[in-house]
Amino acid sequence: MSTRRTREFFARGAPTHAPSRAGIVAAIVRKDLTTFGRDRLWMILTPLALFMFIGIYWLMPPRVDETLVVGVHPPAMAAALKIAMGVAEGDPALTVVAFEDVEAMAAAVADADAVPEGVERPLVGISLPLDLLLRARLGQRATATVYVGTNLPEEVRSAMATAVREVAATAAGAPLPVDWTADDVIVLGTDRAGDQIAARERMRPLMAFVVLLTESLALASLVSVEVTQRTASALLASPARTVDVLLAKGLVGTLLAFSQGLILLLATRAFGPTWPVLLVAVLLGAMMMAGIGMLTGAAGHDFIGTLFYGMGFLLVLMVPAIGELFPGSAAAWVQVIPSYGLVEAMVGSSVYGLGFADLAMPLLAAAGWVVVVFMLGWWALGRKLVQT
């Protein structure tokens, strides 16, 4: 306490009435936030993690590249290739680049620097014989060459070889083996061809979780230090009751995690028309992390112990967020992980623009888990405080 404050304290005299519960909780919250602000480790790691994830988000491509760029020689065969692949004009699936020269096409496939100016780099180059049409009509065998780029997936290589065969079949006048019209291709679900959800949008919940969990580790570290250095015992010797300390810890943890999560989501422009849903999801996530922070802080005997308990939780809670990177619905066991509802709500709101009505179930499930985790953390820390 500074000299001025000491003078003021004695000038005021001893308090004549017991401080209110809210006042006690607020005082502990202030103390914890000050302690957090003085902790160089978390003051470095918190902005570092935020900066890193925001940087990664903006460095990642904003759209999914779902276009196959194919070079064709001779140029006259470009249209035949599109027909063979059943791709309509303007379809994002295929871009055909016509090459006058085979060597130039092969060089462009092999080396990005060899691509002529103003032309998209082909992943594949298809060289068809000039007399293909004639040979096909006469039933004579022809040879075509497919130039493939480094690391081209097997399915694309194979599809290109198939496309060449189909061009030859079309040239020979062979009809499609099935009666296949545009009506026979039925798109189920929202058609996102050409408008896919970018990987960075899918990664956002994962980033948010790591940021939230960093704050949970910070709270755990704070709690662990208080327990091991017996600051908690000193607090309980004051008018503060166990419940006040627990409430304050919960508030601090929620506040820290919520603010960091909010910064990340704001910086990555996650808030869309259904922003209140996302806000509720982040708040629930922050409360869950506060519960985990109390739990791990009470369980760990030292900094490393606390850290590793926290990492254990991190690995499990990250599973649903990692699952979002993959197409399709999550496995049943993933759906029972406490963070599943939060991730669903975050993705639903920020990516698909879903509202409360659509996301009621995941939000309710998340809220249920928040109560369970928070109560567990409260119980573990309360027990530890009583023991000390």
Partner 1 sequence: MLSIWRKDLALGPRSPVLLFAVVMPVLITLLVQGVFGSLFERPPRVGIVDLGDSAVTAAALELEELRTSRVADVETLQRLVTDHDLDAGLVLPAGFDAALRAGERPPLTLYVAGESRANDRAIVAITTIDLLRSVEGRAASIAVEVVAPGGEGVPLQVRLVPFIVLYALFAAGVFVTSFSFTEEREKRTIDALLASPLTMNEFLVAKGLFGGTLAAAMSLVTLALNGALVGQPVGLLLALAIGAVMAAMIGLLYGIAAPDTKVLFALVKTLSILVFAPALWYVFPEWPQWIAYVFPTYWLLNPIVEIGQQGAGLADVWWQLVIGAAICLALVPLLARLAQRVRAPVAA
- Strand ranges (E), 43-123: 68-73, 94-98
Q: How far is the CB of 283 from partner 1 (least distance, A)?
A: 28
Q: How far is the CB of 241 from partner 1 (least distance, A)?
A: 30
Q: How far is the CB of 93 from partner 1 (least distance, A)?
A: 4
Binding map of partner 1 across residues 86-115, x = CB under 8 A, - = no contact: xx---xxxx-----------xx-xxx----
| Residue 337 one-letter amino acid | I
Q: Answer yes or no whether residue 238 interacts with partner 1 by CB under 8 A.
A: no
Q: How far is the CB of 64 from partner 1 (least distance, A)?
A: 7
Considering only residues 327 to 346 of the shown chain, the ones binding partner 1 according to CB under 8 A are 327-329
Q: How far is the CB of 236 from partner 1 (least distance, A)?
A: 25
277 touches 346 (CB < 8 A): no
296 or 339: CB nearest partner 1 = 296
329 touches 308 (CB < 8 A): no
6 or 143: CB nearest partner 1 = 143
26 or 93: CB nearest partner 1 = 93
69 or 264: CB nearest partner 1 = 69
Q: Rounded CA gap, 19 and 285, in Å?
A: 32
168 or 345: CB nearest partner 1 = 168
Q: Omega of the bond prior to 19 within 30 degrees of 0, cis?
A: no
Q: Answer yes or no whether residue 44 interacts with partner 1 by CB under 8 A.
A: yes
289 touches 212 (CB < 8 A): yes
272 touches 353 (CB < 8 A): yes
4 or 113: CB nearest partner 1 = 113
Q: How far is the CB of 240 from partner 1 (least distance, A)?
A: 26
Q: How many residues bind partner 1 (CB under 8 A)?
A: 90
Q: Answer yes or no whether residue 376 interacts with partner 1 by CB under 8 A.
A: no
Q: Rounded CA gap, 36 and 14, in Å?
A: 29
Query: Rounded to the nearest 10 degrees, how much is the dihedral formed by the CA atoms of 38, 41, 47, 50?
Result: -140
Distances (CA, A) of 199 to 123, 236, 265, 274, 326: 21, 49, 16, 21, 10
Q: What's the token pair of residue 130? A: 């000039």
Nearest Cα residue to 120 out of 103, 96, 104: 96
| Residue 40 one-letter amino acid | R
Q: How far is the CB of 45 from partner 1 (least distance, A)?
A: 6
Q: Rounded CA gap, 81 and 65, in Å?
A: 20
Q: What's the token pair of residue 94? A: 């295929």
| Residue 45 one-letter amino acid | L
7 or 301: CB nearest partner 1 = 301
Q: Answer yes or no whether residue 45 interacts with partner 1 by CB under 8 A.
A: yes
Instruction: Indicate which single residue of 6, 9, 30, 41 sits in contact with partner 1 (rule: CB under 8 A).
Output: 41
Q: How far is the CB of 7 from partner 1 (least distance, A)?
A: 36
Instruction: Indicate which single residue of 35, 145, 335, 388 sits in contact with partner 1 (rule: CB under 8 A).
Output: 145
Q: Tokens 């890193």 map to which residue?
A: 52
Considering only residues 60 to 89 of the shown chain, the ones binding partner 1 according to CB under 8 A are 64, 66-68, 84-87
Binding segment for partner 1 among 3-11, 147-155, 250-258, 289-297 (CB under 8 A)?
Answer: 147-155
Q: Answer yes or no whether residue 228 interacts with partner 1 by CB under 8 A.
A: no
Considering only residues 169 to 198 of the shown chain, the ones binding partner 1 according to CB under 8 A are 169, 172, 174-180, 184-194, 196-197
User: What are residue 127's phi and psi, to 5 degrees?
Assistant: -110, 115
Total residue count of the chain as it appears in this document: 388
59 or 186: CB nearest partner 1 = 186
122 or 250: CB nearest partner 1 = 122
Considering only residues 274 to 313 of the shown chain, the ones binding partner 1 according to CB under 8 A are 302-305, 307-308, 311
Q: Which helix (H) or strand (E) holds 31?
A: helix 21-38
| Residue 313 one-letter amino acid | F
